[in-house]
Amino acid sequence: MAEPVERRILRRTSPSDEEIVINFGPQHPSTHGVIDFVTQTNGEVIRRSIPDIGYLHRGLEKIGETVSYPGYMPFTDRIDYLAAMLANEGYAMAVERLLKVEVPPRAKYLRAIAGELCRISNHWVAVGTMASDIGASTPLTHALREREAINDLLEELCGARLTFNYARIGGVSFDAPEGWREKILRYLDHLDSYIQEWDRLISLNQIYVKRLAKVAVISREKAIAYGLCGPNLRGSGISWDTRRDLAYGAYPEFKFDVPVGQGKMGATGDCWDRYAVRVLEMLESSKIVRQALDKLPEGEIMAKVARRVRPEPGEAMARVESARGAMCYYVVSDGSEKAYRVRVRTGSFMAMGIIEEMSQGLMIADLIALIASLDVVAPEIDR
């Protein structure tokens, strides 16, 4: 048995009489899931905060060794339930590389459309809950309403609102339904104009900005050293996006910008930058979906894959840009119907590592801003 974090922190720091160790979590509404932040504080000032993770560990990597290759697909939904489309795609890509299957172009485009819609819906939750954590409760309801509209679109495509299970090894499960294109375009038109209303509602609100600007500034060097990825890395001003720099699927054919934090409200890499990157990314995703809908090729949506998937012994890795950064799947096959090993590398887990250092000297309220701005999802940390 590992020593509990509380005891470890007490032993290591021997808090003085003024300091106390509190468990911030695991059932706290602003920890974004079941995570415990063991926090050593002196009054309102945090000396250090150590995330104690594992409450949502379900052994999803081990499950990958006990079910068949196609049967693991619904479990990838549960790794990151706010961006399940992207998690599906990553696993499908890894197994396709094992099988050396080429995905039909139409399936690649459908994956890109569904994935980008899913990214928009995830970012709505991220920015909405961030506002709610800071203390503004109205924007969350607006963000969830926007997300519902995307959920409706994805429900029409694949029949589920949260755990989509849409990608298949070698393609996707459903073709675009009748009239889907028009509905998406109508929503995207609404989104592009709604962002302005959103900015008026919360993004540029001075109270909100002052709570986030210059708080928990993550420098470029630190972001790279701690292995941050996705919007958290881009918030620190580093222009790196798996979709552009290690393009996969249909992404080489789209033109889009990669928004990075520019320190508009104070310092590059502060909480507001990470927030702003997410808002801007929604508009970029909207661009990608429009291009994909225009170029959507005709044809098959599934490559020829045997029903019993039995790859040659070997290993494969696939990396996708999930909503929380680069998500890697590493699959090892021993030639049987079940994987020998499935390994998942997720963005939320990497973001947990930086909290201990960034929390030093923060106020308790600013720790909440830091956690919210990293947009972590507990099941993705623990898997």
Binding residues for another protein (CB under 8 A): 67-68, 70-75, 77, 138, 145, 148, 155-160, 163, 165, 173-174, 177, 197, 200-202, 204-207, 307
Q: Nearer Cβ to another protein, position 27 or 196? A: 196
Q: Nearer Cβ to another protein, position 23 or 68? A: 68
Rounded to whole angstroms, the Cα distance separating 138 from 34 reads: 24
> Which of 118, 96, 98 lies closest to 107 in space, CA to CA?
96
Closest separation in Å from C-beta 174 to another protein: 6
Closest separation in Å from C-beta 176 to another protein: 11
Closest separation in Å from C-beta 255 to another protein: 32
Closest separation in Å from C-beta 39 to another protein: 26
Q: Nearer Cβ to another protein, position 19 or 156? A: 156
Rounded to whole angstroms, the Cα distance separating 340 from 299 reads: 34
The answer to whether the CB of 45 falls within 8 A of the CB of 361 is: yes
Closest separation in Å from C-beta 77 to another protein: 8
Q: Nearer Cβ to another protein, position 198 or 248? A: 198
Residue whose tokens read 């990151």? 80
Rounded to whole angstroms, the Cα distance separating 75 from 308 reads: 18
Q: Nearer Cβ to another protein, position 28 or 183? A: 183
> Which residues have a Cβ under 8 Å from the Cβ of 223 and sit 6 or more positions away?
232, 233, 235, 236, 238, 269, 354
The answer to whether the CB of 373 falls within 8 A of the CB of 130 is: yes
The answer to whether the CB of 341 falls within 8 A of the CB of 331 is: yes
Rounded to whole angstroms, the Cα distance separating 271 from 373 reads: 6
